[in-house]
Chain A
Amino acid sequence: MKYLLAALAVSMTASAASAQSCPSWQSGDLTLTNAWSRATIGPARPAVFYVEIANAGSVDDSLTAISTPLAEMPMLHETVVTDGVATMPHVSDIPVPAGSTVSLAPGGFHGMLMGLTAALAEGESFPMTLIFERSGEVTIDVGIAAYAARGPACQPDDS
């Protein structure tokens, strides 16, 4: 997997022609897109991180951790609703099986960003490093949508 680590020079493939569409990032067989978060009121409450990860390869991978200068304690969580009660357990990793797409999205897997070093302001963005078991580290740029956003501010790339 050394060659994958060598591919850590992440290529940003956002098309300059359509500034509105969500950028995507590639690392090895993985494509990351639709990264977004919501603005926060001050730095006291945790922020959220959502992204879509596609694994075009033939080998399973998994997201094991996230890291950002914006949060001292970023963690992977999953919202689970069982018998009408929502809990939000910490997950040690999020599987990204070969040939499939995994979404960190409202109501499911998400990054919970605790210990914010600054408030998240709508319209701005912040760097987020995702650490994968096989593909290594990928750093992406996460756009901050409104407090009450139901999806990314950019146009999701459904291709």
Chain B
Amino acid sequence: MLRLSRIQKALWIAAILASFVFAILKSGLWSEETPPTIESADFLPQFSLPDSSGKLRDSEEFRGRWLLVFFGFTNCPDVCPTTLAEAAQVLDDLGPQAASVQPVFISIDPERDLALGIDDYTAAFHSQILGLAGSPTATQAAADSFRIYFSREDDENAPDGYTMSHSPGLFLVAPDGQWLRQFAYGTSATEILADLKERF
């Protein structure tokens, strides 16, 4: 009887251990993979795209300044103006220090934006914002290097029958060209300003 009870105990312990191991494996705690985080700078954000005059503007030329980059499209009535308005407010609040920040608007809808004109759009928000729109390939390459997503979505209720979905944040690149962080969509000008001032 005693023997049987020991076996039972052993089985119970084994069962409990097994369920623990299973739970740990299932939870991924033992996995060496850590989920990719957009804040980890194991990539180099780059772009090489023409401005409205057709001149190629490369991220390299802005070394020594902070880059504040936004990917958007000028047909966007809510997200893009809201974010650009915050960015413009940041530039105004920076005062003379704004000279060390280059805000860049990269069109993810270049064909339509080139037809509509990109400079009048960026200038409406702030004269300092540089608008870039290039080939689909160069646009995709820039987006990939920033690890951001955009996609054209067919939508019969949108102008020209399509709209764009996209990562709506503002992206901060250091004067040495390294990725620093993103300001998630909806981050206020006050918060962005405080972050920048700490870095200057």
Q: Is the CB of A87 within 8 A of B167?
A: no
For the complex, give the distance between the alpha carbons of A110 and B172 in Å: 28
Chain B: interface residue count, which band? 35 or more
Known: A44-B116, A150-B89. A107 touches B165 (CB 8 A): no
Q: Inside 8 A of B169's CB, which chain A residues have their CB?
A: 84
Contacts between the two chains (Cβ within 8 Å), count:
89
For the complex, give the distance between the alpha carbons of A113 and B81 in Å: 14
Known: A107-B185, A147-B125, A148-B84. A86 touches B77 (CB 8 A): no
Residue from A44, A73, A86 within 8 A of B79 (CB atoms)? A86
Cβ-based interface call for A114 (8 A): yes
Cβ-based interface call for B139 (8 A): no
Q: Is the CB of B124 within 8 A of A85?
A: no
Kindly specify which of A22-30, A45-53, A134-142 makes contact with the partner chain.
Answer: A45-53
The 9 closest A-B pairs by CB, nearest first: A147-B124, A86-B168, A48-B77, A106-B82, A148-B85, A87-B165, A148-B125, A46-B77, A90-B157
Cβ-based interface call for A9 (8 A): no
For the complex, give the distance between the alpha carbons of A80 and B85 in Å: 19
Q: Name the CB-closest residue of B to A150.
A: B85
Q: Is the CB of A86 within 8 A of B155?
A: no
